[in-house]
Amino acid sequence: MSKDHRSEVDAAIDEGKGVFEISRKGRWPRYALDMVGALAIILALWSAALMYSNLTGGVAFPTPLDVGASLWGLLAGDKLLGASIYQHTIASMGRWALGYGIAVLLGIVIGLVLGTTGWLYGAGMNSTNVYQLIPGLAWIPIAILLFGIGNIATVFIIVMTALPPVVIATASGLRSVPPVYLKVADMLELGPWDRFRLVLLPSSALQVLTGLRVALGNAWRVLIAAEMVVGVAMGLGFSIFAAQGALMWTESLACIVIICLIGLLFERLVFTRIEDGMRSSLGLEG
Amino acid sequence: MLRFESVSKAYVDRREGRGVVALRDVDLEVSEGEFLCVIGPSGCGKSTILRLMAGMDVPTRGMVTLDGIAIERPSRELGMVFQEDSLLPWLTVRHNVAMAAKDPTLVDGYLDLVGLTEFADSRPSDLSGGMKQRAAIARTLAMEPRVLLMDEPFGSLDEQTRSELDQALLNIWERDHRTVVFVTHNISEALRLGDRVLLLTPRPGRPSRVWELGERPRNMDSDDMIDIRKEMEAWMGRCECLSGLIDISAMEGAP
């Protein structure tokens, strides 16, 4: 039990309450503490890189203060490679949203087919598992051969990388519905739509969400990498690569910080909330 | 009305290269309105009998019929109350019952019958084990099945809750005398509930002894009931020695 709630618990015992409310303030200090801890680890690793760079006498490694100042300037409107950081971010997020959206739609449809068709499941899952082993960047030559260089190739690479976790999570989620729920559906002679709506979908929703989460991370990571190689003229990955080419190391690192912040934002503000809401609506709390 | 004609059921595990005969040459008849209890040690085929009755499994040999028609798949005529928690956790208790109801206007009546009116809008996660099973019974009753099949429905509950639910079930049964087949390994429960108690011997499962019990209410301390209990315990003891649980849940039915 957190010390923050000790006085509230004592008061409840003294007043003979069976059930009582506690303040939620305790969550923030703990969360803040975790964030400070994570930041400390990152800064420690950064310092180690700085020291190593000084020892080897290479190019001066940017300090956190340098990168902070550069980030501040970029956020305040400084141009990087002819565009604002907002334009670069919007360009990347547009590709990411398109590629991820296509992967989610395709993945859920394929997963539904595999998960609900007994004879296809084994073959489909085995081939998806093999296909999942292909590293995201290995799709680059195929993308260029099929679509040339540019946006479509980048989106293709994102789709191919984000697809397998969605397919696997959807299909295996549908196959891991507790047997007793299926027996209930059989006994009630539910039609295909009611069976899907009342039993299969809610049973597998959390697993599908996990797949979407993994796919989101895959898509984001490969997008940045693909932008470095597949010949786009704007985007965060392109900025990292082009800034490095122009020896703008500080700006390059500032772009990496922005990438991390966007990922964190989605993880904390979007997925965690969706998962909490889903758990609550599925009656899986408590 | 419900009849087993020379029914055998085997399961095979291709990977392990072995099979199990869960039931062998079972002949059995359950009359309309009868409350039949099936007892026996673990692994004697009690649940297999119930699955075959429910149409959730098909016999390897022989035939299971309801009014002369072979039971080949689950249907709303054969309502099952499972041992494990089978309520859909994302639906309220009322919605769980309503999804099964033949007549949606009677849902509140069924909830009242099992004493869950106050919890109609609760989620299953807010209910105790006993309340969940009450809700499961309400759901199955709402189907208005011809036969109520109960697979150790109170097996995971403490003795006091089990006894209360047995009484609640008897009260419900006495309203309409629906046919009930109730599987249990608890002799006291079988003596409280059944018109008839059937004992299965294991490996392969076969009916080995049937007791016809008298009118209700029964005095469990009467000489007759004490004698029957002792006899059942002796038979069960013998059967336990023959038993040895083989998990057939991962096995394939041999139709």
Residue A20 confidence class, pLDDT cut points 50, 70, 90: confident
Burial of B175 (0-12, 13-18, 19+ CB in 10 A): exposed
CB atoms within 10 A of CB B240: 16
* β-sheet with B78-81: strand ranges across: B78-81, B147-151, B179-183, B35-39, B196-201, B206-212
Cα(A143)–Cα(A231) distance, rounded to whole angstroms? 12
Residue A234 confidence class, pLDDT cut points 50, 70, 90: confident
Enumerate the residues of chain A whose CB falls inside 8 A of the CB of residue B100: 188
Q: What's the Cα-to-Cα distance from B35 to each of A234, B63, B176, rounded to whole Å?
A: 76, 22, 12
The string of DSSP letters for B117-151 reads GGGTTS-GGGS-HHHHHHHHHHHHHHT--SEEEEE
Residue A186 confidence class, pLDDT cut points 50, 70, 90: very high
Enumerate the residues of chain B whose CB falls inside 8 A of the CB of residue A183: 56, 74, 80, 82, 86
Residue A54 confidence class, pLDDT cut points 50, 70, 90: confident
A183 and B80: CB-CB below 8 Å? yes
- Minimal C-alpha gap between B169 and chain A (Å): 20
What are φ and ψ of residue B14, in 5° steps? -65, -35
Give the A-side interface with B, CB within 8 Å.
Answer: 180-181, 183-184, 186-190, 194, 198-199, 202, 281-286
- Amino acid at position A284, single letter: L
In the block, residue with structure tokens 């006091």: B160
Q: Cα B66 to the chain's mean position, in Å?
A: 16
- Average pLDDT of the residues in A173-183: 93
B56 and A284: CB-CB below 8 Å? no
Instruction: Spell out the domain ranges in chain A.
Output: 27-61, 73-281
Burial of A231 (0-12, 13-18, 19+ CB in 10 A): middle
Instruction: Spell out the domain ranges in chain B.
Output: 2-77+146-254, 93-144
Q: What's the Cα-to-Cα distance from A157 to each of A109, A154, A221, A259, rounded to whole Å?
A: 19, 5, 11, 18
pLDDT digits (tens, 9 = 90+) for B8-52: 999 888 887 878 888 999 999 999 999 999 998 877 888 899 999
Enumerate the residues of chain B whose CB falls inside 8 A of the CB of residue A188: 76, 99-100, 143
- Minimal C-alpha gap between B203 and chain A (Å): 25
CATH topology of domain A73-281: MetI-like fold (1.10.3720)
Interface of B with A in 91-120 (CB under 8 A): 91, 99-100
3-class DSSP state of A119: helix
B72–chain A Cβ distance below 8 A for any pair: no
B74 and A189: CB-CB below 8 Å? yes
Helices assigned H by DSSP within chain B: 46-54, 93-98, 107-113, 129-142, 159-176, 187-193, 223-242
Determine what percent of chain B is predicted with pLDDT higher than 70: 94
Q: Cα A91 to the chain's mean position, in Å?
A: 18
User: Domain B2-77+146-254 is of which CATH architecture?
Assistant: 3-Layer(aba) Sandwich (3.40)
